[in-house]
């Protein structure tokens, strides 16, 4: 499924979100006391998945572990700061990220 996400398939991202967002949230929630920050980190994690899916190597780790690790890293960054870490939106592909937020936001 991450291959489809890497190729820009919005539906694949939506399907991936539907399948594992609760698991990602549960893991992030263990690291963060605030459920609002946990929601933010989960959204950031899926933006990172969208941006980095082409870097995923299935021979190295299962996809769900890779995604959980991304989310864990973002939660750890948040814990080290007073402000949430917002995923950077590259200027080279502006048409992709707004849709990512829309897909994720519509499924909460």
What CATH number belongs to 2-106? 1.10.1740.10
87 to 49, 61, 62, 77: CA distances (angstroms): 11, 23, 23, 11
**How do residues 59-93 score in pLDDT, each as one tens digit?**
999 999 999 999 999 999 988 875 544 555 444 44
**How do residues 14-47 score in pLDDT, each as one tens digit?**
999 999 999 999 999 999 989 999 999 999 999 9
The C-alpha atoms of residue 22 and residue 43 are separated, in whole angstroms, by 12
* Mean pLDDT of all residues in 46-60: 94
User: Do 47 and 101 form a contact (C-beta atoms < 8 A)?
Assistant: yes
User: Do 74 and 47 form a contact (C-beta atoms < 8 A)?
Assistant: no
């Amino acid at each position: 499924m991450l291959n489809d996400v890497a190729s820009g398939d919005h539906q694949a991202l939506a399907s991936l979100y539907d399948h594992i967002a609760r698991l990602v949230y549960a893991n992030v929630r263990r690291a963060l006391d605030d459920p609002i920050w946990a929601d933010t980190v989960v959204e950031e994690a899926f933006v990172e998945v969208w941006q980095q899916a082409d870097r995923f190597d299935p021979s190295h780790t299962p996809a769900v572990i890779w995604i959980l690790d991304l989310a864990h890293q973002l939660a750890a960054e948040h814990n080290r700061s007073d402000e949430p870490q917002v995923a950077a939106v590259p200027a080279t592909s502006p048409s992709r990220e707004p849709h990512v937020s829309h897909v994720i936001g519509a499924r909460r």
